[in-house]
Amino acid sequence: MKVLDAEFVKGFMRMADDGWRQGWHERNGGNLSYRVKPEEVEAVREEFRPGEWKAIGASVPKLAGEYFLVTGSGKYFRNVTIQPEDSFCIIELDSKGENYRICWGLVNGGRPTSELPSHLMNHEVKFIATGGKHRVIYHAHPANTIALTFVLPLTDEAFTRELWEMATECPVVFPGGIGVVPWMVPGGREIAAATSELMKQYDVAIWAHHGMFCSGEDFDLTFGLMHTVEKSAEILVKVRSMQPYKRQTIQPDDFRHLAKDFNVTLPEKFLYEKH
């Protein structure tokens, strides 16, 4: 089977295009990666032309030998559907999880996203935390979420509670809450380590003044997670634009009742009394 005919590749391309259409990927902003299933690798292996090994910049031994579909560094999400072979690639990790090689894609040269260390370190964390269920890591620049990092306290508690209050579905969609990373230079080991530490307990991390980082089992769930967080952020931006304080909102006991009815666990640290 040709790579571009594979369903997992079509799903990857659709998600990238959906993000572009949402306005989350200006210029070459954002990146996406998917840990490919063994049977999917075998279905398209005939098109692989492995290149030379290159250092990842991080060690991810739990992912040794795995294959990933990854957007390219400097590539535009708006081109993923019209120039796929130039916009993303399939990479293979070596037996130690320290090096990668391109097996398909990026036909005009280039390398995987500059955030590859962040992606792979977080793939490893979620692989351990979910028993291998999570396969997608997605980073984008949704404007409302970024705007809130200038006005809300940069704490997990503040962001989770404020966004939960904006729509009843939010604590059901992300019951574990949201982590927040203070501003750091993107693309390096420091931000990758800080994010992976948060990802041990959350599926969403917000990078202050930069964007959002999400993990999920498949393309639909991961895109839906980011879409829900950003829509909640949009509502909060509108509320604060109308007046600085809410006249009414969902209260801690309301969340507790919701958790019981929807069979989700909401950490008590987010259900504090406001003053």
Catalytic annotation, residues: 115
Count of CA atoms in the C-beta half-sphere (13 A) of 160: 26
Sign of CA dihedral 118, 124, 125, 129: positive
Q: Report yes or no: 89 and 106 within 8 Å, Cβ to Cβ.
A: yes
Name every residue whose Cβ is closer than 8 Å to that of residue 33 and which is 6 or more positions away in sequence: 68, 69, 70, 71, 113, 116, 119, 120, 123, 136, 137, 138
Q: Which amino acid is at 203?
A: D
For helices 219-242 and 156-166, give the axis angle rounded to 10 degrees: 90
Query: Cα–Cα distance between 210 and 187 in angstroms, integer?
Result: 12
Rounded Cα distance between 40 and 200, Å, is 27
Give bridge partners of residue 181 from the DSSP assignment.
Answer: 207
Q: What is the DSSP string of 4-47?
A: GGSHHHHHHHHHHHHHHHHT---TT--EEEEE--HHHHHHHGGG
Distance CA 171, CA 190 (A): 29
